[in-house]
Every structure is written in C-alpha cells, then in structure tokens.
Structure 1
Amino acid sequence: MSKIGVEDSLTNIQEALREKGFDVVEIKQEADAKNLDCCVVTGLESNVMGISDTSLKASIIEANGLTADQVCREVENKLNAIQ
C-alpha cells in the first residue's frame, strides 16, 4: 500500500485519500516526509529561491487551487508513473 504524506491543514484531502484506500500520514515538518511515496502540500511555503537540494524521494503535489478529487487523481497518476 502506498504511503501518502499530507500537510496537517489539508484534512479534506486526507479523508479523500483514505477513502481511496491510501495509508495517509500528516506532515508537520520535513522529518515527517521521510519514506513516503508521495507528499501533498498546500504550496504556501513554496521554494521561491529555486533551490532543489532536498533529500526527499517522494513525488510532491501542490494542492493549491485543486479539489480533493483532483488531488486524488494527481496522486494516483504520480504513483502509476513510478510503477
């Protein structure tokens, strides 16, 4: 089962992903994002400097402006592309 990290403020997305059968964990800080298959973030803390030396291997989905259903589809697409 894929493990999906979702920012703690995105409770509607957490619920929608759980309904689809994903193992969902809350991300409150970067350390929470280790060993995840995908991360869903608000995008409010985007990297404005363009520095991309992150140690995360998970796909990142920015939920800003998307519905819970759209985010679920994005997660499924990212996971299918990895497999």
Structure 2
Amino acid sequence: MLKIGVEASLSNIKQVLQEKGYEVVELKQESDVVNCDCCVVSGLDSNVMGMHDTVTQAPVIEAKGLSAEEVCQQIESRLG
C-alpha cells in the first residue's frame, strides 16, 4: 500500500485518498516526509526565497487550485 503524506489543511483530499485505498499520514514535521511515497501540500507556504533543502526523493504535489480528484490523478501518474 502506498503511503501518502498530506498537509493537515487538506482534509478533503485526505478523505478521497483514504477512500481510494491509500495509507494517508498527516504531515506535521519534516521527519513525517521521509517514509512517504508521495506528499501533497497546499502550496500556501511557497518558498519565496528560492532555497531548497531536499528531505525526500518522493514526488511533491502542490494542491493549490486542484480538486481532490485532480490530486489523485497527479499521484497516480507520478507513481504509476
């Protein structure tokens, strides 16, 4: 089962992913990201400084402007 990390503010996306059979964990701190196959973030905390400290090699999907179904499609296309 794929483990998807989801930001706490995205409860609607979390619910849809659980219904589709994904294991969903809430992203509360950086260490939560390490064991996820994919992460979904709101995009509200965009990196305005342009500095990146990579914590995971997993795909990160920005949910801003996407429906829950569109986020699921993004996950499926990135993870195969």
TM range, smaller chain = over 0.9
- Shift in Å at residue 76 of structure 1? 0.7
Equivalent residue letter for 2:77: N
Tell me what 2:75 maps to.
75
- RMSD between superposed Cα atoms in Å: 0.9
TM (normalized to structure 1)? 0.90
- Shift in Å at residue 47 of structure 1? 1.3
Unaligned stretches of 5+ residues in structure 1: none
Where do 1:22-37 residues align within 5 Å?
22-37=22-37
- Shift in Å at residue 32 of structure 1? 1.2
Q: Is the 8 A contact 2:33 2:39 kept in 1?
A: yes
Question: How far apart are the structure 2 equivalents of 1:41 and 1:3?
Answer: 14
TM (normalized to structure 2)? 0.93
- Shift in Å at residue 52 of structure 1? 2.4
Q: Percent identity?
A: 59
Tell me what 1:43 maps to.
43
Unaligned stretches of 5+ residues in structure 2: none
